[in-house]
Amino acid sequence: MQLTDEQTALGATVVDFATTHLAPHAVRWDRDRHFPVDVLRKAATLGLGGVYVDERHGGSGLGRLDGVIVFEALATGCPSLAAYTSIHNMVAAMIDRYGTPAQQATHLPRLCTMETLGAYCLTEPHAGSDAAAIGTKARRSSDGWMLDGVKQFISGAGAAGLYVVFARTGAPGPKGVSAFLVDADTPGLTFGPNEAKMGWNAQPTRQVILDQVRLPATALLGHENSGFAIAMAALDGGRLNIGACSLGGAQYALDRATAHLRDRPAFGAPLAQAQALRFRVADALTHLTAARLLLHQAADELDRGDPDASTRCAMAKRLATDTGFDVANTALQLHGGYGYLTETGIEKIVRDLRVHQILEGTNEIMRLIIARSLLDERRAA
């Protein structure tokens, strides 16, 4: 798919930002488990805090294809921070699409500047892939709602100022879920410890604990019992973005590996002259390019409202995240022992990209979505 001149320039601008403000510090942030909120706010000055938000609310008003260009470029500096920025943008986009005018006016300007950070709270300790089985409850109170439950693996928790929380308001299953906007200073809202993780150490991951959290009626996002549809629509875009983050991290690692092969002598010649290694980088570039093309196609279909867009997003997420991890792992191998050293930054990329095959729907769930679209009896009829 041919990108426009504007899209090419957009990607170049974000790569410049990532090269200047993220890449030089990424290893240290990972080591220190530091969440550089000040740098995220610098990114927001480029419009990256409200990528999909309407311009009248302070956003950039971009489409999904623009978004995957942005997040691939941002991930060349740090996949962990690029992925968090994607999650923040999921929150902003949901409010832009489903929020009331009052909710939009209250939250979107501060989300777009990243003065307020957003968090997406769907997963629970006993409801991950089976998201329709969430047990967090929202009961009507005299003046609104009361929420009780625990959310698990929440990116940005504790640092974010606004939480989109999905809770059960009706019968079991997907039709009994609603979405709520919860401010960080709401009484009864607390957080678990920052999880020790394999990767993604430059962003916090905590439980979000809701203990008799009282919310006004105006905290409901969208209609009552429409929350599951809101969550799934957000995940279509999130899957594209996490795929883009995988490609950006992998492209960075591959670029570093090819430079290493040119510079590193062995057996009387640069490693780049070894045919076996040339084949490996050729395959890596081919696989990255194929995944990028599918990702762009899926983003274009989502922009156009194609009825098969959700399936294509699942395909693109599965291929891009598997490919990204494999290419980054290959880049580490091509570095030899140097790839295993923290200071090179390659092992960090491998650790960061591994979780992309799990979140926003595991790649096994992506396969179920794809198979359902192919084998569902209603489609075959």
Active-site residue set:
360
- Nearest C-alpha neighbor of 79 from the set 296, 326, 325: 325
Q: Which residues touch 161 (CB under 8 Å, ≥6 apart)?
A: 110, 116, 117, 118, 183, 184
Distance CA 122, CA 131 (A): 7
- What is the DSSP-derived secondary structure letter of residue 123? -
**Burial of residue 337, with CB atoms counted within 10 A of its CB: 0-12 exposed, 13-18 middle, 19 or more buried:** exposed
| C-beta of residue 156 within 8 angstroms of C-beta of residue 87 | yes
Instruction: Compute the distance between CA of residue 63 and CA of residue 53 in angstroms, rounded to an integer.
Output: 9
Integer Rg of the chain from CA? 21
- Tell me how far apart the alpha carbons of residues 26 and 18 are, in angstroms, rounded to a whole number: 10
**Longest pairwise C-alpha distance within the chain:** 80
Strands 177-183 and 220-221: antiparallel
Cα separations (Å) of 42 from 22, 27, 159, 243, 333?
11, 19, 17, 24, 34
Q: Are 379 and 308 in contact (CB under 8 A)?
A: no
Angle at 83 (CA atoms; ends 79, 84), nearest 5 degrees: 120
Using the CB atoms, write b or e for 165-180: b if 16+ within 10 Å. bbbbbeeeebebbbbb
List of residues 6+ apart from 109 with CB closer than 8 A? 57, 58
Residue 280 structure tokens = 């490996």
